[in-house]
Chains A and B, each alone.
Chain A
Amino acid sequence: MTAVDVTGVWKFFGDFPALRDVNLTAEQGSCTALLGRNGAGKTTLLKILCGLSSPSRGKAVLLGKEGRSGETRRGIGIIGHGIAVYDELSARENLELFARLYGLDRPRARALEWLERTSLYHVREGLVREFSRGMRQRLAVARAFLHDPKLLLLDEPFTSLDDRAIALLQGLLREAIAGGATVIMSTHQLREALELATHVSLLVRGKVSYAGERTAEMLADPGWLYANYGEAA
């Protein structure tokens, strides 16, 4: 089953094409690393996939449905640059809120379960603004995985994570992929990403310069892709 099918997507900001005729497919259970320099269009593409932005041309079919359908979004988990949890609410209140928004059956139970899994149970009633950085990051991860998403869209998830959070995230991602979820993550941290990735897509100035399976060559030498398909090529 194709989890993600992006065809002919263009995105214009004014007359400037941030994305040019982008095609991307991801089968269920795959993990695609979206690579590219800053400004290449990774975040723009991810925003379209998340439903935060709409393409100027072309379409993005996610989990079998096009556009911003509520059903699709229920199956998507996202991690962006910000932690996307509220400072003035407690950890539990935050997760309960998102559990309700995602239509989960027992919001409180789910929230507590995930607080447990991310080692935040002991501070569940604490306000997020009092949390340490690592704790905030773990809460963000809990928020993303709370509703058992079938599709995970991550924008540079490993940036600014501490070791504990990285290990947690990698573990959860492996588990999700093994369970049939699909992952697309943009990243600069080639090493961490390439370990998990089954596929790779390289964006250069809004165009897909390379898309295919992750090879052993790439794993051995993360710079290989950029050397062969990047700007200079």
Chain B
Amino acid sequence: MNFLRQSLSVAAKDLRSEFRTKESINAAVSFAVVILLLFSFAMDPTSEMIAEMSGGLLWLVYSFAGALILNRSFARELPNDCLDALVASPLSGAALFLGKSLANYLLLFLLELLCLPVFAVFYNVTISRRLGWMMAVFALATWGLTVIGTVFSALTVNLRLRELMLPMLVYPMLIPALMAAMQLTTILIAGQPITGDDEIWLRLLIGFDIIFTSLALALIETVLIT
């Protein structure tokens, strides 16, 4: 019970900090819009090909812009040595990790929800057909991004070149989750249900989430204690 209370306190603190300054979310949303704009020059936004690439494009945007949010996660603990106070408190590594992951998850989800209509308008794509399933896919895939991003944020918190290193380390690892998310999103945007062969992608997402969440919970304390 205490564990939950502590995690929620950490999550609330991160969200409160973020919404007061709005640093990450503004940067992330702006960046996402810029990428969507740039892509419109890279390819013909009116062509039918967009339908095939919709999921791919969307998740590229989410992962690039999301990195800005994930980077801040542990970095915000550095000024004033707050991280030391958190680690020295009765807060367990797992509770700290879950609290931060929860905050990141909500911020990433917010980013995704804000960008989806922008994407639909820019590329003339209907997104309303399988919205429920799409949200479920978003929920699973976003957790995968969150878990890896949060652990690596902790791992790289003290590095000089953190902003450069975090994306480099994280993107190759996210490939399975991004692959699955892209596939499923493309199918759902086209209005098709997820059936038969494609269910494998759902299972991949769930497996990815379970495996990396377990690894993260097991190793986070090791990362935080010198």
Residues of A within 8 A of B (CB): 47, 50-54, 68, 70-71, 73-74, 76, 78, 80-89, 93, 97-98, 100-103, 143
Contact of A70 among B9, B92, B225 (CB under 8 A): B92
Chain B 15-51 interface residues, beta-carbon cutoff 8 Å to A = 16-17, 20-21
Cα–Cα distance between A143 and B79 once the two chains are bound (Å): 16
Q: With A47-B226, A52-B225, A53-B225 in contact, do A84 and B82 touch (Cβ < 8 Å)? A: yes
Q: With A53-B226, A80-B84, A81-B81 in contact, do A86 and B90 touch (Cβ < 8 Å)? A: no
B203 within 8 A of A: no
Cα–Cα distance between A52 and B77 once the two chains are bound (Å): 15
By the criterion CB–CB under 8 Å, are A143 and B9 in contact? no
List the B residue with the shortest CB-CB distance to A143.
B85
B159 within 8 A of A: no
By the criterion CB–CB under 8 Å, are A86 and B84 in contact? no
In the assembled complex, the CB of B34 is this many whole angstroms from the nearest CB of chain A, namely: 26
In the assembled complex, the CB of A70 is this many whole angstroms from the nearest CB of chain B, namely: 4
By the criterion CB–CB under 8 Å, are A52 and B9 in contact? no
Q: Mark B48-91, 1 if CB is under 8 A from A, else 0.
A: 00000000000000000000000000000001111011111111
List the B residue with the shortest CB-CB distance to A72.
B90
Chain B contact-residue range equals 20 to 34
What are 5 A-B contacts defined by CB distance under 8 Å? A51-B88, A78-B84, A82-B84, A101-B6, A103-B2
Residues of B within 8 A of A93 (CB): 13, 16
B5 within 8 A of A: yes
Residues of B within 8 A of A73 (CB): 88-90
By the criterion CB–CB under 8 Å, are B17 and A51 in contact? no
Residues of B within 8 A of A103 (CB): 2, 90
Cα–Cα distance between A30 and B81 once the two chains are bound (Å): 27
By the criterion CB–CB under 8 Å, are B84 and A84 in contact? yes
In the assembled complex, the CB of B5 is this many whole angstroms from the nearest CB of chain A, namely: 6
In the assembled complex, the CB of B21 is this many whole angstroms from the nearest CB of chain A, namely: 6
16 additional A-B residue pairs with CB within 8 Å, beyond A50-B84, A100-B5, A101-B9: A51-B87, A53-B225, A70-B90, A73-B90, A76-B88, A78-B85, A80-B81, A82-B81, A84-B82, A86-B82, A87-B80, A89-B13, A89-B16, A97-B9, A98-B89, A102-B90
Residues of B within 8 A of A53 (CB): 225-226
Residues of B within 8 A of A84 (CB): 80-82, 84-85
